[in-house]
Amino acid sequence: MDISTIHLRKVSLPLRNPFKTHQGELHQRSVIIVVAKDCQGLQGYGEVTAFPSPFYTAETLETAWHMLIDIIFPIIKDEPLHHPSDFIEMTAFIQGNQMAKAGMEGALWDLYAKQNQVSLGELIGGIHSSVKAGAVLSLSHSLEKDINHLKHSGYERYKLKVEKGREKEMIEQAQAIDPGLAIMIDANGMYTEQNLDHLFSLDQLGLLMIEQPFQAGDFYLHKQAQKQMDTPLCLDESIMSLHDAKQAIKLESCRVINIKISRVGGLMTATNIHDFCQEHGIPVWCGGMVETGISKAHNIALSSLPNFTIPGDLSSSDRYFNKDLLLKPIKVENGKIDVPNGHGIGVEVDESFLEKMTYQSYLWSPK
């Protein structure tokens, strides 16, 4: 691959509304935008979606910044890179740091697709021309107002962030607004073995699924709970790699898997997990990270693969931001988002706004 420069930008965007879970509250979304440029002037964009603090995974924006500059860039300089899929082998020795890897790999995939004049969705084998939209409702949202607004746009799946002990109340509140809503809850690993009976009490509420009830890596408790519950359990934080997905499926620890490009280390691993799940009859959906339109575009391309049968955390650009980093925002129409068919991720970045919102940058060349 022809790479002349890689530009890192730390960007901070104010959120339209605070995004609150039992783990904390966000008012600003800071990310790292990775821009890989070739000698012809084509630019590929990736996004590092780590948070400032390690509440979701062990990574932070600062650790990702360090990994990219001090570890990953020298690898790209010293080893031949012919295709974005080479990157996974080049960085295999790096333990963890999945979000740093994913941000860099994403820029490579976008650039490679543009160099070959093909859309990213087509490049990875996507078959869908549009994907179904799903919304996340944080603890700071007004359920009735937000659900009615989202229903008007046709969103097909609603994920509730919940507080332990108030789940039934919050679920029934949403169901009262519309009994036909496809509702799931996201526990973000807040339950323990002592909460099994409490978890079982949610089994009769008609949920689409319960996401990540126990802590990341605990396949045993998820297996024990899934054996006794009709409601499908979905794993999120537990799936950091293809090996994790294989382990979860072989142990029957879940019936659904949430694939996040950034959490599993990049698009190559995400597609491999998709393929394995498809082979074993496990439906998947694409999770979100309160990200900008750059990351959303990557997620939309991934979601065009055939086994993404459940609406993901795929929403319009104005869901979280008054202004996104794209010139033309991503929109949900009749509950769906069109898969971009332009070259690469198929969206155009607002370069002047990206520059305006950048508070730290680093320009690197492999030459």
Catalytic machinery residues: 161, 260
User: Partners of 137 in the beta sheet?
Assistant: 160
Q: How far, in Å, CA of 327 to CA of 351, rounded?
A: 9
Question: For residue 299, how many other CB atoms are within 10 A of its CB?
Answer: 30
Backbone angles phi, psi at 73, to 5 degrees: -60, -45
Tokens 């978890």, residue located: 199
In this structure, is the dihedral angle defined by the CA atoms of residues 30, 118, 111 and 42, taken in order, positive or negative?
negative
Tokens 């073995």, residue located: 193
Tokens 């973000």, residue located: 188
- The Cα-based distances of 116 to 45, 296, 344 in angstroms read 15, 22, 9
Token digits for 27? Answer: 């008012």
Q: How far is CA 179 from the centre of its chain?
A: 28
Half-sphere exposure of 223 (CA within 13 A, CB side): 10
Amino acid letter, 264: V
